Amino acid sequence: MKKSKDIVNCSLLVKFIAEDDHIYNFDDSWNITIGDFQLLNKGNTRLQVKFSFQANLRSINEKGLSTLLLPDEHLPEIQPYLEKLEILLDLLSLQVGTPLAVEDGSFEFNAVGYSTKSNLVTNTNRLYDLTGLEKRYQNLLKNENLINATRFFRLSQIDREQNGKVIKLWATLEALYKGYKKENKTIWSNLDKTDRNKLQKVINSLHIKKKEKLNLLNALKERKLLSPTELLSQKIKLMNSNGEYSEKDISQLVKWWSRSRHSPAHGERIKKSDENKQDAIDDMEDTLETLLKSALTPSF
């Protein structure tokens, strides 16, 4: 099977995301080219972005028959360009003081002999169990922690960026189990007076500066018996078709979620190419939805 590369032209729309009741428009000063991207003001309300890339779309077999793969925004070859576009939008947002984002469903692709366009899928959400809905609403009003958890969860669903989504999902988890850290004792508090005195004498006998001795002693006094993920693992209860999850299984699950959360929390971005972290965020979102519904409806 032989493959040949096509030049694919991509066009998409960018819009302002206002944080207040103002409307922000573009003007013709936006008609510029920066790096790989050509920007064009489209009716003041949208900014068109055009760029081209190469992709393996055609496969030709031994008989000369050709198979064509229609391009979309998930193609591996387009990902480096979308990453650079997000960097450009970061810069432009900072420069003008208003955030910019790619508009959903605005991708258009064309190459020699064909063109494609993103099609938004229309779904209808129907309300059900109206009597139960009233009960869940009353249950929610009585629980401040649950109010916070459901708010963070909704904000996570609105956020299209995985970097912001995972932080909001973790905030949902911590709100749902608020207070779990208070039950965690320190290693120091778990020692009897004799052992504390022994440790203190050992530290004082070390050939280091007085300040370093004090820092070492304070570290011992503040060190917790369990990590936050270990504490959460004791609180979370999950079941599947085989029965209740063991604490060990839940611990591994929470650690998997936590690794994704730590990236943006410590100044690193989750890239679209990092499928493991993307999967962890999806799993965390699905699990939290189940836990929230269970908390709102005890019989769930």
Per-residue pLDDT tens for 113-151? 667 777 667 777 777 888 888 888 888 888 999 999 999
Surface-to-core class of residue 152, CB atoms within 10 Å of its CB (0-12 exposed, 13-18 middle, 19+ buried): buried
Question: Looking at the predicted structure, is the pLDDT value of residue 69 above 80?
Answer: no
pLDDT of residue 216: 87
Sorted by where each begins, the domain ranges of the chain are: 2-117, 130-182+226-296, 194-222
CB atoms inside a 10 Å sphere around CB 26: 22
**For residues 251 and 193, is the Cβ–Cβ distance under 8 A?**
no
Q: What is the pLDDT of residue 1?
A: 47
Q: Which of 63-72, 166-175, 197-206 has the lowest mean pLDDT?
A: 63-72
pLDDT at 300 over 60: no
Provide mean pLDDT across the span 83-103: 92
Q: How far is CA 26 from CA 40, 115, 178, in A?
A: 9, 27, 44
Q: Which two tokens stand for residue 243?
A: 């029965």
Predicted confidence at residue 12, as pLDDT, reads 96
User: What is the identity of the amino acid at 27?
Assistant: D
For the chain, what is the total number of helices (H) and then of strands (E)?
9, 10
Q: Is the pTM of this model over 0.85?
A: no
Q: Can you tell me the mean pLDDT for 205-222?
A: 88
Find out whether 164 and 215 touch, Cβ atoms under 8 Å.
no
Decide if 284 contacts 168 (C-beta within 8 A): no
| Two structure tokens written together for 156 | 């996570």
**For position 118, what pLDDT does the model report?**
72
Cα 287 to Cα 254: distance, rounded to the nearest angstrom: 11
pLDDT recorded at residue 244: 84
- What percent of the chain is modeled with pLDDT above 70? 92
Percent of the chain clearing pLDDT 90 (strictly above): 41
Q: Which two tokens stand for residue 19?
A: 């944080």
CA distance 8 to 57: 9
